[in-house]
Amino acid sequence: MTHDPLALPDAPKANWVDLYAPAPLRPWLRLGRFDRPIGIWLLFLPGAMGLVFGAAEPLSFEVAYKLILFALGSALMRGAGCAYNDFVDRDFDAKVERTRLRPIPSGQIRPKQALAFVALSSLISLVILLQLGWTAIWLGVASLGLVAAYPFMKRITWWPQAWLGLTFNWGFLMGVATMTGTLSLGAVIFYAGLMFWTLGYDTIYAYQDIEDDAMIGVKSSARALGNKGRSGISVFYALAVALTGIGSILNGLSWPLYAGLLAVCLHLFWQVNTLRIDDNRRLLKLFKANREAGLLWVAAILIGHWRP
């Protein structure tokens, strides 16, 4: 199989889009980042945490069915969000080595076509959303404001990764609301903790582009922290674990939760301890490792429901 010259440099070398997708579909699948499923995982896992967090019986058929809905919705909305982000950033992306081959700046997909992709993905997601209950529906509608504003944050603030934290973890609140019809104080505190988790891992990701971002004037938490990245990310991760622990306790989860959170702590400590802000391959590896961190958080909540 010949190498596709339009394959994106930051996509896995053996991803299914480049290997198996028909050539006419590849630009569309790349537009939605389906060649890089890590983003789907990072959007889905907070929703999975919310469903388990809010469930009276986390291993029930209802939770399993809602997990499927959240997985489908995460894939669609992540695709829509990436396409919208690329539409807004198309001029910036054309100037950055890592992003210049994306479908819009490279001319494979026209901007209006990208907006049509966003609209179709959002419409299908709406069908899924309507099955989650009114509180979750209204939360889903409210999330559109966060999504719409995100691409502009890098022009406004040094901390666009914090805004991404608010946006990417909104699914946690939706998951809780789906199961309970309301939001508790514990759920809100847990959500705040997840926001710091995203701030940490997306700062790791942002270090890959720090030189290009400085050249074109794009702001990021990586640029704000500079050489103090390890210290800053350590603080973000510590707050993430502390706040999710407090939120879980307030929600009545039992002491086995701490064993799960210890596993989360050890994983995040490994990330920080092996961080090299000038090694892009290591940065990407650590960023992707947050799928495992999220799965450990889900497991922590699950065992926290156990009553010894």
Reduced to 3 states (helix: H, G, I; strand: E, B; else coil), residue 285 is: helix
Cβ atoms < 10 Å from Cβ of 65:
12
5 located within any domain:
no
154 contacts 65 by C-beta, under 8 angstroms: no
Confidence band (pLDDT; 50, 70, 90) for 16?
A: confident
What is the pLDDT at residue 1?
A: 46
11 located within any domain:
no
Confidence band (pLDDT; 50, 70, 90) for 19?
A: confident
67 located within any domain:
yes
**pLDDT tens by residue, 142-151:** 998 998 898 8
7 located within any domain:
no
CATH code (residue 28) = 1.10.357.140
**pLDDT tens by residue, 221-270:** 999 999 999 999 999 999 999 999 999 999 999 999 999 999 999 999 99
73, HSE (Cβ side, Cα atoms, 13 Å): 27
6 located within any domain:
no
302 contacts 55 by C-beta, under 8 angstroms: no
Number of domains in the chain: 1
1 located within any domain:
no
Query: Helices 61-88 & 111-129, crossing angle to 10 degrees?
Result: 160
Distance of CA 122 to the CA centre of its chain: 17
Confidence band (pLDDT; 50, 70, 90) for 302?
A: very high
What's the Cα-to-Cα distance from 288 to each of 92, 147, 174, rounded to whole Å?
24, 22, 24
Reduced to 3 states (helix: H, G, I; strand: E, B; else coil), residue 179 is: helix
9 located within any domain:
no
pTM (two decimals): 0.90
Confidence band (pLDDT; 50, 70, 90) for 277?
A: very high
15 located within any domain:
no
Cα–Cα distance measured from residue 147 to residue 72, given in angstroms and rounded to the nearest whole number = 18
pLDDT of 209 above 60: yes
Domain that holds residue 246: 20-304
pLDDT of 36 above 70: yes
